[in-house]
Chain A
Amino acid sequence: MNEALLSGSLFLKPFLTGLAYALLLPVLGCYLRLRDEWLAALAFTQVAAAGALVAMAIAAPPVLGGLAAAALAALVKHHSMRVGNAIYALLYLGGWGVAVLLVANLPLAERLARALFDGQLYFSGQAHLMAAWAALPLALAWLARLSRTLLVARFLPGHLLATGRLEGRAHLGFDLLVACALALATMSIGVAAAFALIFVPAWIVCDAASGWRRALIFSALMGAAGYVAAFFLALAADQPFGPILALTLVLAAGLTFLRRRTVAHPG
Protein backbone atom coordinates (compact mmCIF):
# COMPACT_ATOMS: atom_id res chain seq x y z
CA MET A 1 0.00 0.00 0.00
CA ASN A 2 2.82 2.39 0.84
CA GLU A 3 4.37 2.04 -2.60
CA ALA A 4 1.03 2.80 -4.17
CA LEU A 5 0.58 5.78 -1.90
CA LEU A 6 4.04 7.09 -2.62
CA SER A 7 3.81 6.69 -6.35
CA GLY A 8 0.27 7.53 -7.30
CA SER A 9 -2.66 9.83 -6.76
CA LEU A 10 -3.58 7.92 -3.62
CA PHE A 11 -0.66 9.73 -2.05
CA LEU A 12 -1.44 13.17 -3.38
CA LYS A 13 -4.88 13.77 -1.85
CA PRO A 14 -3.94 12.89 1.73
CA PHE A 15 -0.70 14.83 1.41
CA LEU A 16 -2.40 17.99 0.16
CA THR A 17 -5.21 17.66 2.69
CA GLY A 18 -2.81 17.60 5.60
CA LEU A 19 -0.66 20.33 4.09
CA ALA A 20 -3.54 22.81 4.22
CA TYR A 21 -3.91 22.24 7.95
CA ALA A 22 -0.14 22.30 8.45
CA LEU A 23 -0.14 25.83 7.03
CA LEU A 24 -3.27 27.05 8.81
CA LEU A 25 -3.09 25.64 12.33
CA PRO A 26 0.33 27.08 13.31
CA VAL A 27 -0.89 30.57 12.35
CA LEU A 28 -3.96 30.15 14.53
CA GLY A 29 -1.64 28.85 17.23
CA CYS A 30 0.22 32.17 17.31
CA TYR A 31 -3.05 33.93 18.15
CA LEU A 32 -3.84 31.31 20.81
CA ARG A 33 -0.48 32.11 22.41
CA LEU A 34 -1.28 35.81 22.14
CA ARG A 35 -4.42 35.15 24.17
CA ASP A 36 -2.80 32.60 26.54
CA GLU A 37 -5.42 30.14 25.35
CA TRP A 38 -3.41 27.33 23.78
CA LEU A 39 -5.07 24.84 26.13
CA ALA A 40 -8.36 25.62 24.37
CA ALA A 41 -7.02 23.75 21.32
CA LEU A 42 -6.79 20.52 23.29
CA ALA A 43 -10.37 20.94 24.47
CA PHE A 44 -11.73 21.75 21.00
CA THR A 45 -10.07 18.77 19.33
CA GLN A 46 -11.32 16.37 22.02
CA VAL A 47 -14.85 17.76 21.90
CA ALA A 48 -14.84 17.63 18.08
CA ALA A 49 -13.87 13.96 18.21
CA ALA A 50 -16.67 13.27 20.68
CA GLY A 51 -19.12 15.16 18.46
CA ALA A 52 -18.12 13.08 15.45
CA LEU A 53 -18.74 9.89 17.42
CA VAL A 54 -22.12 11.12 18.65
CA ALA A 55 -23.08 11.97 15.05
CA MET A 56 -22.08 8.52 13.93
CA ALA A 57 -24.17 7.00 16.71
CA ILE A 58 -27.27 8.79 15.43
CA ALA A 59 -26.45 8.06 11.77
CA ALA A 60 -25.48 11.66 10.97
CA PRO A 61 -22.30 12.71 9.10
CA PRO A 62 -19.40 12.67 11.60
CA VAL A 63 -17.89 15.86 10.18
CA LEU A 64 -21.08 17.77 10.93
CA GLY A 65 -21.14 16.35 14.44
CA GLY A 66 -17.53 17.35 14.98
CA LEU A 67 -18.11 20.88 13.70
CA ALA A 68 -21.28 21.33 15.75
CA ALA A 69 -19.70 20.03 18.93
CA ALA A 70 -16.59 22.20 18.50
CA ALA A 71 -18.70 25.28 17.79
CA LEU A 72 -20.77 24.53 20.87
CA ALA A 73 -17.57 24.21 22.91
CA ALA A 74 -16.45 27.60 21.57
CA LEU A 75 -19.73 29.17 22.67
CA VAL A 76 -19.47 27.58 26.11
CA LYS A 77 -15.90 28.78 26.43
CA HIS A 78 -16.82 32.30 25.31
CA HIS A 79 -19.60 32.58 27.87
CA SER A 80 -17.49 31.10 30.68
CA MET A 81 -14.70 33.67 30.77
CA ARG A 82 -14.91 33.96 34.55
CA VAL A 83 -14.00 30.31 34.97
CA GLY A 84 -10.65 31.01 33.29
CA ASN A 85 -8.50 28.16 32.00
CA ALA A 86 -10.51 25.63 34.02
CA ILE A 87 -13.16 25.63 31.29
CA TYR A 88 -10.69 24.01 28.88
CA ALA A 89 -10.02 21.17 31.30
CA LEU A 90 -13.75 20.69 31.85
CA LEU A 91 -14.44 20.62 28.11
CA TYR A 92 -11.58 18.21 27.53
CA LEU A 93 -12.79 15.86 30.24
CA GLY A 94 -16.37 16.08 28.99
CA GLY A 95 -15.31 15.27 25.43
CA TRP A 96 -13.10 12.42 26.54
CA GLY A 97 -15.83 10.94 28.74
CA VAL A 98 -18.43 10.99 25.97
CA ALA A 99 -16.00 9.50 23.46
CA VAL A 100 -14.87 6.65 25.69
CA LEU A 101 -18.42 5.75 26.72
CA LEU A 102 -19.53 5.63 23.10
CA VAL A 103 -16.61 3.43 22.13
CA ALA A 104 -17.35 1.12 25.07
CA ASN A 105 -21.00 0.74 24.11
CA LEU A 106 -21.06 0.98 20.33
CA PRO A 107 -18.87 -1.46 18.41
CA LEU A 108 -19.01 0.71 15.28
CA ALA A 109 -17.68 3.71 17.18
CA GLU A 110 -14.40 2.01 17.94
CA ARG A 111 -13.15 2.17 14.37
CA LEU A 112 -13.99 5.84 13.95
CA ALA A 113 -12.54 6.64 17.35
CA ARG A 114 -9.29 4.95 16.43
CA ALA A 115 -9.16 6.93 13.19
CA LEU A 116 -9.86 10.18 15.04
CA PHE A 117 -7.29 9.65 17.76
CA ASP A 118 -4.54 8.07 15.64
CA GLY A 119 -5.24 10.16 12.56
CA GLN A 120 -6.67 8.76 9.35
CA LEU A 121 -4.81 11.05 6.98
CA TYR A 122 -3.84 8.34 4.48
CA PHE A 123 -7.51 7.54 3.96
CA SER A 124 -8.54 11.13 3.26
CA GLY A 125 -10.61 11.45 0.13
CA GLN A 126 -11.76 14.14 -2.24
CA ALA A 127 -14.23 15.60 0.26
CA HIS A 128 -11.50 16.00 2.91
CA LEU A 129 -9.22 17.63 0.36
CA MET A 130 -11.85 20.11 -0.79
CA ALA A 131 -12.85 20.93 2.78
CA ALA A 132 -9.23 21.57 3.77
CA TRP A 133 -8.40 23.84 0.84
CA ALA A 134 -11.68 25.71 1.18
CA ALA A 135 -11.05 26.19 4.88
CA LEU A 136 -7.51 27.54 4.43
CA PRO A 137 -8.27 30.78 2.53
CA LEU A 138 -11.57 31.33 4.32
CA ALA A 139 -9.97 30.95 7.73
CA LEU A 140 -7.03 33.20 6.83
CA ALA A 141 -9.37 35.87 5.47
CA TRP A 142 -11.51 35.64 8.61
CA LEU A 143 -8.40 35.85 10.77
CA ALA A 144 -7.13 38.88 8.86
CA ARG A 145 -10.35 40.69 9.76
CA LEU A 146 -9.98 39.82 13.45
CA SER A 147 -6.22 40.21 13.78
CA ARG A 148 -5.97 43.89 14.60
CA THR A 149 -8.65 43.74 17.30
CA LEU A 150 -7.06 40.66 18.87
CA LEU A 151 -3.65 42.33 18.95
CA VAL A 152 -5.01 45.61 20.32
CA ALA A 153 -6.95 43.70 22.98
CA ARG A 154 -3.68 42.17 24.17
CA PHE A 155 -1.22 45.05 23.85
CA LEU A 156 -3.40 48.17 24.08
CA PRO A 157 -6.50 46.99 25.95
CA GLY A 158 -7.34 50.50 27.13
CA HIS A 159 -7.95 51.58 23.57
CA LEU A 160 -10.81 49.11 23.17
CA LEU A 161 -12.24 49.71 26.63
CA ALA A 162 -12.29 53.40 26.13
CA THR A 163 -13.86 53.41 22.71
CA GLY A 164 -16.56 50.99 23.77
CA ARG A 165 -16.07 48.87 20.67
CA LEU A 166 -17.58 45.46 20.85
CA GLU A 167 -14.39 43.45 21.02
CA GLY A 168 -16.49 40.58 22.38
CA ARG A 169 -17.63 39.85 18.83
CA ALA A 170 -14.04 39.53 17.67
CA HIS A 171 -13.23 37.17 20.55
CA LEU A 172 -16.25 35.00 19.81
CA GLY A 173 -15.40 35.04 16.12
CA PHE A 174 -11.89 33.85 16.87
CA ASP A 175 -13.12 31.10 19.21
CA LEU A 176 -15.48 29.81 16.52
CA LEU A 177 -12.77 30.04 13.88
CA VAL A 178 -10.32 27.99 15.93
CA ALA A 179 -12.97 25.46 16.94
CA CYS A 180 -14.15 24.90 13.35
CA ALA A 181 -10.62 24.70 11.94
CA LEU A 182 -9.62 22.19 14.59
CA ALA A 183 -12.79 20.16 14.06
CA LEU A 184 -12.09 19.85 10.33
CA ALA A 185 -8.44 19.06 10.96
CA THR A 186 -9.33 16.44 13.56
CA MET A 187 -11.49 14.63 11.00
CA SER A 188 -8.50 14.31 8.64
CA ILE A 189 -5.31 14.19 10.71
CA GLY A 190 -6.60 13.24 14.15
CA VAL A 191 -6.75 14.80 17.61
CA ALA A 192 -3.08 14.71 18.58
CA ALA A 193 -1.73 15.77 15.19
CA ALA A 194 -4.11 18.74 15.04
CA PHE A 195 -3.11 19.77 18.55
CA ALA A 196 0.60 19.32 17.78
CA LEU A 197 0.32 21.57 14.71
CA ILE A 198 -1.52 24.33 16.51
CA PHE A 199 0.68 24.24 19.59
CA VAL A 200 4.31 23.37 18.82
CA PRO A 201 5.29 25.62 15.86
CA ALA A 202 3.77 28.69 17.52
CA TRP A 203 5.48 27.82 20.79
CA ILE A 204 8.86 27.58 19.08
CA VAL A 205 8.49 30.63 16.85
CA CYS A 206 6.80 33.13 19.19
CA ASP A 207 9.72 32.98 21.57
CA ALA A 208 12.28 33.79 18.90
CA ALA A 209 10.73 35.69 15.97
CA SER A 210 11.65 39.33 15.54
CA GLY A 211 8.14 40.55 14.79
CA TRP A 212 4.52 39.44 14.66
CA ARG A 213 4.25 39.08 10.87
CA ARG A 214 7.47 37.09 10.76
CA ALA A 215 6.16 34.85 13.54
CA LEU A 216 3.06 34.06 11.49
CA ILE A 217 5.10 33.26 8.38
CA PHE A 218 7.75 31.21 10.20
CA SER A 219 5.20 29.24 12.20
CA ALA A 220 3.37 28.28 8.97
CA LEU A 221 6.68 27.28 7.37
CA MET A 222 7.69 25.28 10.42
CA GLY A 223 4.32 23.54 10.51
CA ALA A 224 4.61 22.66 6.83
CA ALA A 225 8.21 21.45 7.17
CA GLY A 226 7.38 19.27 10.17
CA TYR A 227 4.32 17.93 8.41
CA VAL A 228 6.17 17.02 5.19
CA ALA A 229 8.92 15.30 7.15
CA ALA A 230 6.43 13.36 9.29
CA PHE A 231 4.26 12.39 6.32
CA PHE A 232 7.06 10.72 4.42
CA LEU A 233 8.71 9.30 7.52
CA ALA A 234 5.45 7.65 8.56
CA LEU A 235 4.98 6.23 5.07
CA ALA A 236 8.53 4.96 4.81
CA ALA A 237 8.45 3.36 8.26
CA ASP A 238 4.85 2.13 7.85
CA GLN A 239 3.80 3.85 11.06
CA PRO A 240 0.63 5.81 11.97
CA PHE A 241 0.93 9.44 10.91
CA GLY A 242 -0.36 11.18 14.06
CA PRO A 243 2.30 9.99 16.53
CA ILE A 244 5.08 10.51 13.97
CA LEU A 245 4.01 14.13 13.43
CA ALA A 246 3.72 14.75 17.16
CA LEU A 247 7.18 13.26 17.78
CA THR A 248 8.73 15.17 14.87
CA LEU A 249 7.45 18.47 16.24
CA VAL A 250 8.43 17.61 19.81
CA LEU A 251 11.92 16.77 18.56
CA ALA A 252 12.09 20.13 16.74
CA ALA A 253 10.99 21.87 19.94
CA GLY A 254 13.63 20.02 21.95
CA LEU A 255 16.41 20.88 19.51
CA THR A 256 15.33 24.52 19.48
CA PHE A 257 15.34 24.60 23.27
CA LEU A 258 18.84 23.06 23.42
CA ARG A 259 20.14 25.50 20.81
CA ARG A 260 18.79 28.47 22.77
CA ARG A 261 20.42 27.20 25.95
CA THR A 262 23.70 26.77 24.11
CA VAL A 263 23.53 30.29 22.67
CA ALA A 264 22.53 31.77 26.03
CA HIS A 265 25.14 29.80 28.02
CA PRO A 266 28.03 28.96 25.64
CA GLY A 267 30.48 26.47 27.02
Chain B
Amino acid sequence: MSLPSTGGIEVVELFAGYERPVVGPLSFSLSPGRVLGLSGPNGAGKSTVLAALVGTARVFGGRVNRPPGLRIAFQGQHLPPSRGLPLTGRELLDLAAAPCAGLPDWLMRALDRRLDTLSGGQRQFLHHWATLMSPAEAVLLDEPTNNMDPAGMAELKKAIRGRSSTTAIALISHESDFLETVCDQIVRVGEMQVSG
Protein backbone atom coordinates (compact mmCIF):
# COMPACT_ATOMS: atom_id res chain seq x y z
CA MET B 1 0.00 0.00 0.00
CA SER B 2 1.38 3.45 -0.86
CA LEU B 3 0.13 6.72 0.55
CA PRO B 4 0.32 9.92 -1.47
CA SER B 5 3.14 12.33 -0.69
CA THR B 6 2.06 14.99 1.78
CA GLY B 7 5.17 17.02 2.61
CA GLY B 8 5.02 15.47 6.07
CA ILE B 9 5.94 11.98 7.23
CA GLU B 10 4.54 8.89 5.56
CA VAL B 11 4.45 5.57 7.33
CA VAL B 12 3.80 2.57 5.11
CA GLU B 13 3.22 -0.97 6.41
CA LEU B 14 5.57 -0.26 9.31
CA PHE B 15 6.81 -3.00 11.63
CA ALA B 16 8.96 -1.49 14.39
CA GLY B 17 10.64 -2.54 17.64
CA TYR B 18 14.04 -2.90 19.24
CA GLU B 19 15.25 -6.49 19.53
CA ARG B 20 12.22 -7.68 17.57
CA PRO B 21 9.10 -6.12 16.04
CA VAL B 22 6.55 -5.12 18.69
CA VAL B 23 4.14 -3.12 16.56
CA GLY B 24 2.76 -3.24 13.03
CA PRO B 25 1.76 -3.27 10.35
CA LEU B 26 0.85 0.41 10.51
CA SER B 27 0.23 2.92 7.74
CA PHE B 28 -0.60 6.56 8.22
CA SER B 29 0.37 9.99 7.05
CA LEU B 30 1.48 12.87 9.25
CA SER B 31 0.68 16.03 7.33
CA PRO B 32 1.12 19.75 8.04
CA GLY B 33 -2.07 21.21 9.44
CA ARG B 34 -3.25 17.90 10.89
CA VAL B 35 -3.10 16.40 14.37
CA LEU B 36 -2.70 12.64 14.48
CA GLY B 37 -3.39 10.71 17.67
CA LEU B 38 -2.02 7.29 18.55
CA SER B 39 -4.13 5.36 21.03
CA GLY B 40 -4.10 1.83 22.31
CA PRO B 41 -3.63 -0.26 25.43
CA ASN B 42 -0.44 -0.25 27.50
CA GLY B 43 2.29 -2.18 25.74
CA ALA B 44 0.69 -1.85 22.30
CA GLY B 45 3.81 -0.11 20.98
CA LYS B 46 2.62 3.50 20.66
CA SER B 47 5.89 4.98 21.94
CA THR B 48 7.81 2.61 19.68
CA VAL B 49 5.99 4.08 16.67
CA LEU B 50 7.14 7.60 17.61
CA ALA B 51 10.63 6.24 18.25
CA ALA B 52 10.63 4.77 14.73
CA LEU B 53 9.64 8.17 13.32
CA VAL B 54 12.68 9.81 14.94
CA GLY B 55 14.98 6.91 14.15
CA THR B 56 15.64 5.53 17.62
CA ALA B 57 13.60 2.35 17.13
CA ARG B 58 14.41 -0.20 14.46
CA VAL B 59 12.22 -0.52 11.38
CA PHE B 60 11.84 -4.24 10.68
CA GLY B 61 9.47 -3.90 7.77
CA GLY B 62 7.70 -1.31 5.66
CA ARG B 63 9.10 2.19 5.60
CA VAL B 64 9.09 5.65 7.15
CA ASN B 65 9.41 8.39 4.55
CA ARG B 66 10.73 11.64 5.95
CA PRO B 67 11.47 14.50 3.55
CA PRO B 68 15.17 15.45 3.71
CA GLY B 69 15.78 18.34 6.08
CA LEU B 70 12.42 18.01 7.82
CA ARG B 71 12.80 19.46 11.31
CA ILE B 72 11.21 17.26 13.94
CA ALA B 73 10.81 18.08 17.63
CA PHE B 74 10.09 15.18 19.94
CA GLN B 75 9.21 15.09 23.63
CA GLY B 76 9.13 11.68 25.27
CA GLN B 77 6.85 10.80 28.17
CA HIS B 78 9.66 10.86 30.74
CA LEU B 79 11.06 14.31 31.38
CA PRO B 80 14.83 14.51 31.81
CA PRO B 81 15.88 14.91 35.46
CA SER B 82 16.64 18.50 36.40
CA ARG B 83 17.29 18.20 40.14
CA GLY B 84 20.39 20.10 41.20
CA LEU B 85 20.70 21.93 37.89
CA PRO B 86 20.03 25.66 37.73
CA LEU B 87 18.11 25.99 34.46
CA THR B 88 15.05 28.26 34.54
CA GLY B 89 11.85 27.84 32.57
CA ARG B 90 12.73 30.86 30.46
CA GLU B 91 16.14 29.38 29.64
CA LEU B 92 14.47 26.11 28.60
CA LEU B 93 12.26 27.99 26.15
CA ASP B 94 15.31 29.84 24.82
CA LEU B 95 17.02 26.50 24.16
CA ALA B 96 14.01 25.30 22.18
CA ALA B 97 13.68 28.69 20.41
CA ALA B 98 10.07 28.66 21.63
CA PRO B 99 8.24 31.89 22.51
CA CYS B 100 6.89 32.70 25.96
CA ALA B 101 3.92 34.58 24.52
CA GLY B 102 0.73 32.56 24.85
CA LEU B 103 1.78 30.62 27.94
CA PRO B 104 -0.93 30.39 30.57
CA ASP B 105 -0.60 32.93 33.39
CA TRP B 106 0.12 30.29 36.03
CA LEU B 107 3.19 29.25 34.09
CA MET B 108 4.24 32.69 32.90
CA ARG B 109 4.59 33.71 36.56
CA ALA B 110 6.91 30.76 37.20
CA LEU B 111 9.14 31.19 34.14
CA ASP B 112 12.10 32.59 36.06
CA ARG B 113 12.11 29.76 38.58
CA ARG B 114 14.44 26.77 38.29
CA LEU B 115 12.92 23.71 36.66
CA ASP B 116 13.60 21.66 39.78
CA THR B 117 11.35 23.96 41.83
CA LEU B 118 8.34 23.61 39.51
CA SER B 119 5.53 21.12 40.10
CA GLY B 120 5.29 17.99 37.98
CA GLY B 121 2.41 19.48 36.02
CA GLN B 122 4.19 22.77 35.44
CA ARG B 123 7.31 21.01 34.16
CA GLN B 124 5.23 18.71 31.99
CA PHE B 125 3.43 21.64 30.40
CA LEU B 126 6.61 23.65 29.94
CA HIS B 127 8.54 20.84 28.23
CA HIS B 128 5.67 20.09 25.88
CA TRP B 129 5.14 23.77 25.17
CA ALA B 130 8.87 24.12 24.36
CA THR B 131 8.60 21.22 21.93
CA LEU B 132 5.31 22.26 20.43
CA MET B 133 6.35 25.86 19.84
CA SER B 134 9.86 25.13 18.61
CA PRO B 135 10.52 25.96 14.95
CA ALA B 136 9.91 22.42 13.72
CA GLU B 137 7.74 21.24 10.85
CA ALA B 138 6.72 18.08 12.69
CA VAL B 139 6.10 17.74 16.42
CA LEU B 140 5.82 14.42 18.25
CA LEU B 141 4.48 14.36 21.83
CA ASP B 142 4.33 11.24 24.00
CA GLU B 143 1.73 11.40 26.79
CA PRO B 144 1.71 15.20 27.09
CA THR B 145 -1.15 15.16 29.62
CA ASN B 146 0.73 13.19 32.31
CA ASN B 147 0.60 14.97 35.70
CA MET B 148 -1.64 17.66 34.23
CA ASP B 149 -4.83 18.98 35.82
CA PRO B 150 -7.97 19.80 33.74
CA ALA B 151 -6.94 23.46 33.39
CA GLY B 152 -3.52 22.43 32.07
CA MET B 153 -5.10 19.96 29.65
CA ALA B 154 -7.43 22.66 28.35
CA GLU B 155 -4.49 25.02 27.78
CA LEU B 156 -2.55 22.26 26.05
CA LYS B 157 -5.47 21.52 23.73
CA LYS B 158 -5.62 25.18 22.80
CA ALA B 159 -1.88 25.28 22.14
CA ILE B 160 -1.94 22.14 19.99
CA ARG B 161 -4.88 23.33 17.93
CA GLY B 162 -3.26 26.75 17.49
CA ARG B 163 0.07 25.24 16.39
CA SER B 164 -1.49 22.66 14.07
CA SER B 165 -2.32 25.20 11.37
CA THR B 166 1.28 25.14 10.16
CA THR B 167 2.73 21.99 11.70
CA ALA B 168 2.28 18.23 11.50
CA ILE B 169 1.60 16.96 15.02
CA ALA B 170 1.46 13.40 16.32
CA LEU B 171 0.66 12.65 19.92
CA ILE B 172 0.09 9.74 22.22
CA SER B 173 -2.32 9.92 25.13
CA HIS B 174 -4.17 7.51 27.33
CA GLU B 175 -6.82 10.24 27.79
CA SER B 176 -9.34 9.23 25.13
CA ASP B 177 -11.43 12.41 25.61
CA PHE B 178 -8.31 14.50 25.05
CA LEU B 179 -7.47 12.65 21.85
CA GLU B 180 -11.02 12.86 20.55
CA THR B 181 -11.20 16.62 20.95
CA VAL B 182 -7.71 17.58 19.79
CA CYS B 183 -6.98 15.16 16.93
CA ASP B 184 -8.10 15.16 13.32
CA GLN B 185 -7.34 11.47 13.01
CA ILE B 186 -6.73 8.69 15.51
CA VAL B 187 -4.75 5.55 14.76
CA ARG B 188 -5.50 2.77 17.22
CA VAL B 189 -2.25 0.91 17.67
CA GLY B 190 -2.67 -2.77 18.28
CA GLU B 191 -6.10 -2.81 16.66
CA MET B 192 -5.25 -1.40 13.24
CA GLN B 193 -8.38 0.69 13.17
CA VAL B 194 -8.24 4.22 11.80
CA SER B 195 -10.96 6.75 12.50
CA GLY B 196 -11.54 10.40 11.67
A contact set with B: CB distance below 8 Å: 33-34, 148, 151-152, 154-159, 161-164, 205-215
Q: List chain A residues, Cβ under 8 A from B86.
A: 205-212, 214-215
Given A148-B95, A152-B95, A156-B127, does the pair A163, B72 have CB atoms closer than 8 Å? yes
Given A154-B80, A159-B74, A161-B55, does the pair A210, B112 have CB atoms closer than 8 Å? yes
Known: A158-B131, A212-B86. 20 other contacts (CB 8 A): A151-B95, A154-B80, A155-B92, A155-B95, A155-B115, A156-B75, A156-B95, A157-B76, A158-B54, A158-B73, A158-B75, A159-B73, A159-B74, A162-B53, A162-B72, A163-B136, A207-B84, A207-B86, A208-B86, A211-B112
CA distance A207 to B84 in the complex (A): 5
Asked if B75 and A206 make an inter-chain contact with CB atoms under 8 angstroms apart, the answer reads no
Does B82 sit within 8 A of A, measured CB to CB? Answer: yes
Q: Give residues 79-130 of B contacting A (CB, 8 Å).
A: 80, 82, 84-88, 91-92, 95-96, 112-115, 127, 130
CA distance A2 to B152 in the complex (A): 65
Asked if A163 and B71 make an inter-chain contact with CB atoms under 8 angstroms apart, the answer reads yes
Q: List chain B residues, Cβ under 8 A from A163.
A: 71-73, 136
Smallest CB separation, B90 vs chain A (Å): 8
Smallest CB separation, A160 vs chain B (Å): 9
Q: List chain B residues, Cβ under 8 A from A208.
A: 86
Does B134 sit within 8 A of A, measured CB to CB? Answer: yes
Asked if A162 and B140 make an inter-chain contact with CB atoms under 8 angstroms apart, the answer reads yes
Asked if B87 and A158 make an inter-chain contact with CB atoms under 8 angstroms apart, the answer reads no
Asked if B73 and A164 make an inter-chain contact with CB atoms under 8 angstroms apart, the answer reads no
Does B165 sit within 8 A of A, measured CB to CB? Answer: no
Does B5 sit within 8 A of A, measured CB to CB? Answer: no
CA distance A230 to B85 in the complex (A): 27
Given A156-B131, A206-B86, A210-B114, does the pair A162, B74 have CB atoms closer than 8 Å? yes
CA distance A203 to B140 in the complex (A): 35
Does B6 sit within 8 A of A, measured CB to CB? Answer: no
Q: List chain B residues, Cβ under 8 A from A211.
A: 86-88, 91, 112, 114
Interface residue SS majority, chain A: helix
Q: Which residue of A lies closest to B72 (CB)?
A: A162
Most A CB contacts (10 A, CB to CB) among B56, B84, B127, B136 go to B84
Give 6 nearest A-B pairs by CB, closest first: A158-B74, A162-B72, A162-B74, A209-B86, A162-B54, A215-B86
Q: List chain A residues, Cβ under 8 A from B115.
A: 155
Q: List chain A residues, Cβ under 8 A from B80.
A: 154-157
Instruction: Identify 8 residue pairs between A and B in the complex whose beta-carbon atoms are under 8 Å apart, listed by A's number.
Output: A151-B95, A154-B85, A155-B95, A156-B96, A157-B80, A158-B75, A162-B72, A210-B112
Q: Give residues 29-74 of B contacting A (CB, 8 Å).
A: 53-56, 71-74
Q: List chain B residues, Cβ under 8 A from A213.
A: 91
Asked if A151 and B87 make an inter-chain contact with CB atoms under 8 angstroms apart, the answer reads yes
CA distance A155 to B91 in the complex (A): 10
CA distance A206 to B82 in the complex (A): 11
Q: Which residue of B lies closest to A36 (CB)?
A: B81
CA distance A152 to B127 in the complex (A): 12
CA distance A192 to B96 in the complex (A): 38
Asked if A161 and B91 make an inter-chain contact with CB atoms under 8 angstroms apart, the answer reads no
Asked if A158 and B95 make an inter-chain contact with CB atoms under 8 angstroms apart, the answer reads no
CA distance A211 to B55 in the complex (A): 33
Q: List chain A residues, Cβ under 8 A from B136.
A: 159, 162-163
Given A164-B55, A210-B114, does the pair A159, B96 have CB atoms closer than 8 Å? yes
Asked if B73 and A162 make an inter-chain contact with CB atoms under 8 angstroms apart, the answer reads yes
Smallest CB separation, A35 vs chain B (Å): 10
CA distance A36 to B42 in the complex (A): 32
Q: List chain B residues, Cβ under 8 A from A151.
A: 87, 95
Asked if B88 and A212 make an inter-chain contact with CB atoms under 8 angstroms apart, the answer reads yes
Q: Which residue of B lies closest to A160 (CB)?
A: B74
Asked if A161 and B85 make an inter-chain contact with CB atoms under 8 angstroms apart, the answer reads no
Smallest CB separation, A166 vs chain B (Å): 13
Smallest CB separation, A164 vs chain B (Å): 7
Smallest CB separation, A104 vs chain B (Å): 41
Given A156-B96, A158-B73, A158-B76, does the pair A210, B54 have CB atoms closer than 8 Å? no
The answer, among B54, B71, B113, for a CB contact under 8 Å with A161, is B54
Q: List chain B residues, Cβ under 8 A from A209.
A: 86
